[in-house]
């Protein structure tokens, strides 16, 4: 499969996923006109609060949406194929093999009735038709790869015999079992202790380096982004409000929401200064206000923000921002 040079591994164009209530009266625009791209070996962070649509976006990429949700428009180019137009059968060959996903809760992700070896070997058996014994051997290697001590005995054990950190690493092993090109991690460390989280993040980074994986981190934690990611996509109320290289965004956020979010995090070394809080609450997705959805909470909002929805402006350095102020800055910069 010869990918055209410079074409990213995954390119999402104007994707919208909506939830429609049973009566069809309430439409929730969980993902609204989202575009993003990620190349092989890159790490992309998707940051947002609960209800920002980041998890729905992840489910959309794998096409494992709940029945009420539907991809209504857009394209998802993955290795030159549009995932949106694939049939369910074709998608089954993509899931777990070419795109894998790690979920938040390691306990719920593992079946308590099967041995570790069985579960780690399962994707290999399903996708590559490998025999049980060979899959078992591969499972051993994979456990070694995720740094689980004495993998030969661990493969015969059950999930309840493992600690939380170990279970999460096993979930990671299942994720990389078929050597996927893209790994999506949805809040992979929220249930872990700090030192265990550090272990796990360094493991993910090593796996990425060894296998040339593209990694998508879905998180609400900007710290994870600062530590792990190259590219960042900030979501608010279903839309991408800002995207670009992580260090540039952290140094000079273009969107007021990103700026406020960065300022609202307590820092280890600050001297008990008051935090800059973002006032108010995120809007209700089923009845979004007219104009920019952040306008009501935005300290820099002006008339136009309440009337017109800003489009995605392309800024220099591969950045985008959905903010009227960014367009002003861009024009004055060009002039």
Partner 1 sequence: MSMSSETIVLPPSVSTRSAASRLGDLPMIPIIILAVIAFMAIFADVLAPHNPEVGALTARFKPPFWQTGGTMDHILGTDQLGRDVLSRLIFGARVSMVVGFTAVIFAGVVGTVLGILAGYLGGWADQVIMRITDAWLALPALTFAIFLAAIVGPSMWNIVIILGLVYWTRYARVVRGEVLSLKEREFVRLAIVAGCSKATIMRRHILPNVVNSAIVLATLMLGVVIVTEASLSFLGVGVPPPKPAWGLMLSDGKQGLMVGYWWLTVLPGCCIMLMVLSANLLGDWLRVKLDPQLRQL
Partner 2 sequence: MPVLEAAGLTKHFQARRGLFSGSRGVVRAVDDISFSIESGRTLGVVGESGCGKTTTAKLVLGLEEPTGGSIRFEGRDLQELDPAGRRHYRKSVQAVFQDPFASLSPRMRISDIIAEPLVTNETVTSGEVRRRVLELLDLVGLPERSADLFPHEFSGGQRQRIAIARALALSPKLVVLDEPVSALDVSIRAQILNLLRDLQDRLGLSYLFIAHDLAAVAHMSHTIVVMYLGKIVEVGDAQTLARAPKHPYTAALFSAALPSHPDERREEILLAGEVPSPLNPPSGCRFHPRCPQVMPVCGQQEPALAQVGDRFVACHLYDQARH
For position 153 contacting partner 2 by CB under 8 A, the verdict is: no
For position 276 contacting partner 2 by CB under 8 A, the verdict is: yes
x/- letters, 112..151, toward partner 2 (CB under 8 A): ----------------------------------------
Q: Closest distance between partner 1 and the C-beta of residue 282, in Å?
A: 11
41 binds, among partner 2, partner 1, none (CB under 5 to 8 A by kind): none
Pick from 73, 163, 314, 331 the residue near partner 2 by CB under 8 A.
163
Q: Closest distance between partner 2 and the C-beta of residue 307, in Å?
A: 24
For position 271 contacting partner 2 by CB under 8 A, the verdict is: yes
For position 65 contacting partner 2 by CB under 8 A, the verdict is: no
For position 166 contacting partner 2 by CB under 8 A, the verdict is: yes
Give the interface with partner 1 as residue ranges (CB under 8 A). Answer: 277, 279-281, 284
Return the structure tokens found at 288: 């979004």
CA–CA gap between residue 161 and residue 333 (Å, rounded): 60
195 binds, among partner 1, partner 2, none (CB under 5 to 8 A by kind): partner 2
Residues sharing a CB contact under 8 Å with residue 271, sequence separation 6 or more, in sequence order: none
Q: Which is closer to partner 1, CB of 8 or CB of 289?
A: 289
For position 247 contacting partner 2 by CB under 8 A, the verdict is: yes
Pick from 4, 133, 274, 333 the residue near partner 2 by CB under 8 A.
274
- Count of residues interacting with partner 2 (CB under 8 A): 45
SS (H, E, C) the chain: CCCCCCCCCEEEEEEEEEEECCCCCCEEEEEEEEEEEECCCCEEEEECCCCCCHHHHHHHHHCCCCCCEEEEEEEEEECCEEHHHCCHHHHHHHECCCEEEECCCHHHHCCCCCCHHHHHHHHHHHHHCCCHHHHHHHHHHHHHHCCCCCHHHHCCCCHHHCCHHHHHHHHHHHHHCCCCCEEEEECCCCCCCHHHHHHHHHHHHHHHHHHCCEEEEEECCHHHHHHHCCEEEEEECCEEEEEEEHHHHHHCCCCHHHHHHHHHCCCCCCCCCCCCCCCCCCCCHHHCCCCCCCHHHCCCCCHHHHHCCCCCEEECCCEEECCHHHHHHHHHHHC
Q: Which is closer to partner 2, CB of 124 or CB of 321?
A: 321
Q: Which is closer to partner 1, CB of 87 or CB of 287?
A: 287
Q: Which is closer to partner 2, CB of 81 or CB of 245?
A: 245
89 binds, among partner 2, partner 1, none (CB under 5 to 8 A by kind): none
Stretch that binds partner 2, among 22-30, 106-114, 152-160, 243-251 (CB under 8 A): 243-251
Which of 101, 130, 107 is closest to 118 using CA atoms?
A: 130
Q: Closest distance between partner 2 and the C-beta of residue 86, in Å?
A: 34
- Taking CA atoms, 163 is separated from 142, 205, 292, in Å, by 18, 21, 45
Residue 284: which region, alpha, beta or left (left: phi > 0; alpha: psi -120 to 50)?
Answer: beta
Q: Which is closer to partner 2, CB of 21 or CB of 281?
A: 281
Q: Closest distance between partner 1 and the C-beta of residue 52, in Å?
A: 18
274 binds, among partner 1, partner 2, none (CB under 5 to 8 A by kind): partner 2
Q: Closest distance between partner 2 and the C-beta of residue 229, in Å?
A: 8
Which residues of this protein are in contact with partner 2, per CB under 8 A?
49-50, 163-166, 193-199, 202, 220-227, 246-247, 250-251, 260-261, 264-272, 274-279, 281-282
């Amino acid at each position: 499969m010869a990918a055209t040079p410079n074409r990213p591994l995954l390119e999402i164009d104007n994707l919208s996923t909506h939830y429609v209530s049973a009566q069809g009266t309430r439409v929730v625009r969980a993902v609204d006109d989202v575009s993003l791209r990620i190349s092989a070996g890159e790490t992309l962070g998707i940051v947002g609060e609960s209800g920002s649509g980041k998890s729905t976006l992840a489910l959309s990429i794998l096409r494992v949406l709940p029945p009420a949700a539907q991809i209504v428009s857009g394209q998802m180019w993955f290795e030159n194929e549009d995932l949106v137009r694939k049939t369910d059968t074709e998608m089954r060959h993509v899931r777990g093999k070419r795109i894998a996903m790690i979920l938040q809760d390691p306990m719920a992700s593992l079946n308590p009735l099967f041995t570790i070896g069985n579960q780690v070997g399962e994707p290999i058996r399903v996708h590559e038709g490998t025999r049980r014994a060979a899959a078992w051997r591969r499972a051993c290697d994979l456990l070694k790869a995720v740094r689980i001590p004495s993998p030969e005995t661990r493969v015969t054990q059950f999930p309840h015999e493992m600690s939380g950190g170990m279970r999460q690493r096993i979930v990671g092993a299942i994720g990389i079992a078929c050597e996927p090109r893209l790994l999506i991690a949805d809040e992979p460390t929220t249930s872990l202790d700090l030192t265990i989280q550090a272990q796990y993040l360094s493991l993910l980074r090593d796996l990425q380096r060894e296998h040339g994986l593209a990694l998508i981190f879905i998180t609400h934690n900007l710290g994870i982004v600062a530590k792990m990611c190259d590219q960042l996509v900030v979501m608010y109320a279903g839309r991408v409000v800002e995207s670009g290289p992580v260090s540039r965004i952290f140094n000079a956020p273009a969107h007021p929401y990103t700026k406020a979010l960065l300022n609202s995090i307590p820092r280890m070394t600050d001297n008990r200064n008051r935090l800059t809080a973002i006032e108010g609450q995120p809007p209700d997705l089923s009845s979004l206000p007219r104009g920019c959805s952040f306008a009501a909470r935005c300290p820099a909002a002006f008339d136009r923000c309440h009337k017109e929805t800003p489009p995605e402006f392309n800024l220099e350095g591969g950045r985008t921002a959905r903010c009227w102020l960014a367009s002003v800055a861009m024009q004055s910069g060009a002039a």
